[in-house]
Chain A
Amino acid sequence: MTGKTNYRRFAPVTRRRFVAGASTLGLAAGLGVGPFIRRASANTEVKVLNWQGYGTDEPWALEAFKAATGLDVVHDYYNSESEMITKLQTNPGTYDVIVTNSAWNGRASELGVIQPIDSSLISNFADLNPSFRDSAVLSADGKLYGVSWVWGMTAIAYSTDVFKEAPTSVEILWDPSLAKRVCVRDDAIEAVSFAAIATGQDMNHPADHDKIKEKLLALKPNLATMWSSEDDWNKQFQAKAFDVSIYWSGSAFRSKNTFNLPVGYFVPTEGAIGWFDGLAIGTDAPNAEGAHKFIDYMVSQEFYSKWAEVGPPASANNKAMEGLPDSDPSKAFYLDQENVKRLQFMAPLSDKERQDFSDIWAEVKTEFAK
């Protein structure tokens, strides 16, 4: 993942982004942005809805795609997943290809804003990693609503200066010998997910909330600090503020490769958080045929091998990952199917679950501060 990508996807919303999001929302809710968007002329354009600067709008890629198919690619962007849903609802029949997170694809198909995809039109479909390609969250009623595109994980990073051997268990976070040496991200969903994994529960819909609260409270003696962004993490790690931390896979490889920090990374045997993004087609897409073509190009090895130069998330296309140079340490890690098997994937949360998790974390943090 690129630094920008991380910010966009997971960092707590920055103030500027919050303001931008809020005003966009106001506009979208009040007026509907549809009338201001140039309608795609049916067969010469593909209209894409995505985060800005997240792969689909790489200029070289659009040139290559145009050369191959004669289709122009036009972009519109969203700043949050809920904004994506709002745009799809207020402008039906406008978008051809939409990038949807695994936790949101189901919501979109449920609302009827995306349509089934014909996998026979995707020539690279067979090469996609079955763990993602056949995931239940990308389909509904036996129909395919999303083609898996890229993925990553949230697992545990450690200092190779302190640990001569890689830890294997999530319990390392609660290890009594690591008093004040552990760091987590200040994020309710991540914290609750890890406590659920550590207590052997379903990460997305844990049954026993009290157990989770108890497990998180037990983290107090070990917790040195919390991190908020990749940059923040790197600075604190460099200052030796902690030895072990819950961290993002893409960021861990950047900290190691780009910033030369002594970072090791492992997926606990108990599990870790996985996420992936899919590519979907809008309901009544003006150019559904072009949309299939664009998705096929996006999951191709040809596209990924060039995109890999800027440090994107892992491709869901196994062939594309195998095509990476061996010097890239992320290659072996992401291709290790043992790692992939241990992951629990982020699923859509109900508003109630979201609020419950947030309340648990707020309560635990209040105890931390005592």
Chain B
Amino acid sequence: MELDIWPGDFGLPSIDVSCLHFLACSKFCASPITYVTSTAPWNSPTGEYPVCVDRKGKGKPICDFDKFVEELRTNGQAVVIDGGLTPKEKAQIDAFACFLQQRLQPAVNHTLWADDLNYHTTTHYWYTSKLSFPYNLYYVERRRKRVLRTLANKNVNQMMLDALQALNMLSAKLGDNKYFYGDKPTSLDALVFGYLAVLLRVPLPNDRLQVHLSACPNLVRFVELIISIYLPSTDSKQSKSNTFWQTRVAKAIKQKEASAAQPKEEEAEDLPIRDAILFGLGALTLSLIFAVHSGIIEIQMEEEENPIVKD
């Protein structure tokens, strides 16, 4: 089996939330899947990564997390994921998976794709630099549109509030434990890890969620632990690219503060009466010029009216 994922950066094995879900889950059960970092998402049936392909067998490619977990469970891996859980715990895992999807996913998507500053500083730049022109433009635009569609009816503040509450609840639920259920990681740990790792590691200028997440030490420890045990970084160029991104983000923050300061100064002065007069005169002049030009008004000189004579 082969798992195609987006390449990693910022000390993460992949930059994409769903890819991290798949990756963490398969690492938890020590599955012999080969990981392929790829930048050709058009090969996937949904046009997105991750996708798990069985090159030898005839099975369909898997893009759905639940199906992927099912596949890992049934295909006799060394460790059966979610194996030692009671039915009630399994039921809770299903519920929390929905909880994350409803409360955390919109905010994470908004932070990465819908927030203009973050999008232009980081997300757009990262994806376009990995993909080749002109497909990159099409891809980011399509993906952004899709995210914007799913967020269309949501109030941003409410969404952020939900996400912050969700982080608090996850923090309370985790407590001082190593993982959410027992001392072995479950599929829920993979899901939580996916969202939190991206929030924690990807450098963003608008970092409301990041700041809040850093204030939950047990969640931060949880992410670091999973990275260090299951997904150790092998990237040697880390520090160099880190400084690049840091300066980029710092610049964006500066810009934002500058633009936030500006509009207050400009507000006061507007002169409706002067503008109205100027507009009125302008419209009149233009109409007159047009009328004269197109011959609707003729400035007539006296003309002799000759009889019509031919030859």
Q: Does A pair with B?
A: no
